[in-house]
Structures are given as structure tokens and as C-alpha cells.
Amino acid sequence: MKKKNYGNLFILFALTVFFAILGGMLYTGNIGRQFTNMLIPIFMYIVLAVSLNLVVGLLGELSLGHAGFMSAGLFTGCLVSIRLYGLVSDPLRFVISMLVGGLVAAVFGLIVGLPTLRLRGDYLAITTLACGEIIKTIITNLKITGGARGLDTGHVYSGAKTLFPYAVVLVYLTVIVMMHIKNSAQGRAIMAIRDNRIAAESIGINVTHYKLAVFVIAAFFAGAAGVLYGHCFANVKAASFDYNVSIEILVIVVLGGMGNIFGSIAAAVILRALPEMLRGFENYRMLIYAIVLIMVMVLSNNKKVQSFRYMVTGKLKKKLRERKAAKQAKKGGEMNG
């Protein structure tokens, strides 16, 4: 337990440093425009990846409908924001719209999860994909969301400097909730379901209850992140949040490591920044992206690479342990003396 908490503190510390530097640079105008414009989408992908990691990593269920929940939250949240514009102060408007977006997404999560979560593996994957596509079709055919023309969010459009604090808070919230679940009794129950459902059931864990809770929580954060995303564009179309977006989020989760919060964050940043960094390569950039994806998967599962990594980390850990032991010995010596 104790060791895990150190890991969590490390993540929170790293995040804080990261946000502080980023925020400092953003508000003093030391960040390029390209990167400024990427900030909010990257934060959204962090939230989406961490929340999907809850489902895929902790619960062990493959969901391909995350973009659908995000989309549902995005459109309701942005509609609320548009209606509230000028009526309440901006911070309140952002908070209310993100809450509403999250709640609506959570309701969708409940509606989708209730019947489908008894399916398993690839069957659940295709059902969640189907639900995402149905949500997309509904939003595209509704009048209130602007239909195929997309929802004009032009007059609630906000720059990165306005949205940054909300994005930071949302990332923190997601990470903390995820950590809390991971390290609580509930989290262990969830992981028990992942590792062996029948065994978990036999010791009295209510599988459906936990599965549903995880699904709903993940959907909530996806929806709230969507609202944030909607505010940094002037026009959003449901058609752009199809299964390909869900797959992109899944790629981030898998690359970052199952159940690994920190990995999800790092992978979201790297994977979203990579195509932008490769801009100079024009036609070849998506090709390079694809090759990097395959290489990372193949190499990270390569025995030699793994053993090399263990060797390096092993040596380092050994050194740390020795240093710690030496320190304690010294401390002990001082006390004794």
C-alpha cells in the first residue's frame, strides 16, 4: 500500500510541476501559437485516456464507444453554455456546462452499460462501438444540435488562456478519482473482476454493480472533457466523433500501459504531439505515425528489450536500496551515538 501511494504522490507532483511550468509559460506568452492551440485538445485526450483506462485497464473490458459518450456530453454541455451565455458569469457557466455535459454522458453510460455489460470481450467491444455510432447518428439528425452543419459554438468560443484553469482542474479530478478507485477496496474488487470474474463473484463481489459504476464514472469524465473541447472550436460536428476517435483513445491507453495512470497521461501528450511535430514531413507524417505505433507495440513486447529494461531498472533500484540502507544505517548510527 505504502509503495503505491508514493507512486501516486509522484504522479501528482509531476503533474503539478508540469502544469505550473506550462501555465507560467502560457500566461507570460512564451509558448508558440501552435502549441497553445494544442493545449486544450491534449488535456481532453488526457482525461479521455485516463477515464477509459478505468474501463479497459482496471475493469478489463474493451470499450469502443468512448467517443460517443464524449460527444453526448459535448453537445448538451455546449448547448447549455450557449443558453447561459450572458446570463451567468463565465466561470459559473463553464462549471455548470461541464457538470451537465458530464451528467448527461453518465446517463448515456448507464443506458448503454445496463444491458450490454453482461456481454464480454469482442462482443462488448462491438456493442459499445455500435452505441457510439447510434449516438453519432442521433446527434447528426437532431435539429437542436445543428445537425450535419454542426453546432455553432462560435460565440462561446474561448482561447486556451481562458480554458486552461478548467482543464487543469478536470485533469486533476480525473486523476485523483482514478487513483482513489485504484487504491480502494472497491478498486481491488474491480481488479478482481478483471482477473477472474467467476472467482470474484464467488466471494460475493457484485460484478454488475461494479462494472456499471466504472462505466458511468468513465462516461462522466468523457462528457465533461467533451464540453471543454467544444469550447475551443467554433463549430463541432457529431460526425467527427466516430469510432476512429474511440480507437485513438484506446491506442493511447494501451501505449501508456493498462491501468497505468501516468502512462496514459504521457502517452496522450506524446501521441497527440507526434503528428504535430512531424508536420515538416507532409505526406509521410501519418505513415511515420503508423510505423512508430507498430514499432512501439512490437518493441515493448520484445523479450530482449524487456529484459534490458529490467536490467537497467533493476540496477537502479538496487542502487537506490543500497543508498537508502546506507542512510538508515547512518541515521541509526547517529541515534545510537
Partner 1 sequence: MKKFLAVVMALAMVFSFAACGGKKGGHADNELYVGAIGAATGDYAVYGLAVKYGAEIAVDEINAAGGVNGMKIVFDFQDSQGDPESAKSAYGKLMDWGMDISIGTVMSGEMASVTAESANDDMFMISPSASNDTCISASSNAFRVCFYDSFQGTAAADYVKATLSGKKVAVFYQSDNDYSIGLYDAFKAQAAVNGTEIVAEQSFTSDEKDFTTQINTLADSKAEVVFLPIYAAEASMFLSQAKNGTDNAVFAEGVYFFGCDGLDGILEVVDNVSTANNVVMLTPFAASSTDADVVSFVEAYKAKTGGTVPNQFAADGYDAVYVIKAALEAMGVSKSSEVSGAKVAEAMTSLSYSGVTGDMTWTADGNTQKLATAVIYNDGVDTEFGK
Partner 2 sequence: MTVFIRTLISGLNLGSIYALIALGYSMVYGIARMLNFAHGDIIMVGAYSGIVAVMSIGLPPIVGILLGVIVCALLGITIERLAYKPLRQAPSLSILITAIGVSYLLQNLALIIFGPEQKAYPMFSGVKSFQILGAKIDGITILTLAVTACIMIGLNLFINKTKIGKAMRAVSEDKGAAELMGISTDRTITVTFAIGSALAAIASAFYGATYVYILPTTGSMPGIKAFTAAVFGGIGSIPGAMLGGIVLGLIEQFAKQYISTLWSNAIVFGVLIIVLLVKPTGLMGKTIQEKV
Query: Binding to partner 1 by residue 195, rule CB under 8 A?
Result: no
Query: Nearest CA to 182 among 256, 262, 105, 113?
Result: 262
Which DSSP string corresponds to 269-329? HHHHHHHHHGGGGGGGHHHHHHHHHHHHHHHHT-HHHHHHHHHHHHHHHHHHHHHHHHHHH
- In this complex, which beta carbon is closest to partner 1, that of residue 14 or of residue 173? 14
- In the complex, the smallest distance separating the C-beta of residue 100 from partner 1, rounded to whole angstroms, is 23
Query: Binding to partner 2 by residue 53, rule CB under 8 A?
Result: no
Q: Alpha-carbon torsion 38, 106, 166, 238, what sign? A: positive
Among 92, 144, 316, 329, binds partner 1 (CB under 8 A): 316
DSSP state of 232: T
Among 108, 221, 233, 241, binds partner 1 (CB under 8 A): 233
Q: How many CB atoms lie within 10 A of CB 122?
A: 10
Among 96, 251, 270, 278, binds partner 2 (CB under 8 A): 251
Write the single-letter amino acid at 146.
G
Which positions from 193 through 222 interact with partner 2, judged by CB under 8 A? 196-199, 202
Query: Binding to partner 1 by residue 154, rule CB under 8 A?
Result: yes
Which DSSP string corresponds to 73-128? HHHHHHHHHHHHBTTB-HHHHHHHHHHHHHHHHHHHHHHHHHHHTTS-HHHHHHHH
187 φ, ψ (degrees, to nearest 5): -60, -40
Q: Which residue has the cell 536500496?
A: 321
**Rounded to whole angstroms, how far apart are CA atoms 128 and 56?**
13
Instruction: Label residue 331 exposed, middle or buried (CB < 10 Å: 0-12, 13-18, 19+).
Output: exposed
Q: Select the binding partner of residue 9 from partner 2, partner 1, none (C-beta < 5 to 8 A, by kind).
A: none
Stretch that binds partner 2, among 150-158, 223-231, 299-307, 325-333 (CB under 8 A): 299-307
Query: Binding to partner 2 by residue 142, rule CB under 8 A?
Result: no
Query: In Å, what is the CA distance from 75 to each residue of 171, 226, 230, 308?
Result: 20, 8, 8, 47
Among 12, 23, 37, 251, binds partner 1 (CB under 8 A): 37
Among 297, 312, 316, 329, binds partner 2 (CB under 8 A): 297
Among 234, 288, 293, 296, binds partner 1 (CB under 8 A): 234
Per the structure block, which three cell numbers stand in for 137?
447518428
Chain contacts with partner 1 (rule: CB under 8 A): 7, 10, 14, 18, 21-22, 25, 29-38, 41, 137, 140-141, 147-150, 152, 154, 157, 159, 232-237, 239-240, 262-263, 265-266, 269-270, 273, 275-277, 279, 282-283, 285-286, 309, 312-313, 316-317
Contacting positions for partner 2 (CB under 8 A): 56, 62, 115-116, 118-120, 122-123, 125-127, 129-131, 133-134, 137-138, 141, 196-199, 202, 243, 247, 250-251, 254-255, 258, 283-284, 286-287, 289-291, 293-294, 297-298, 300-302
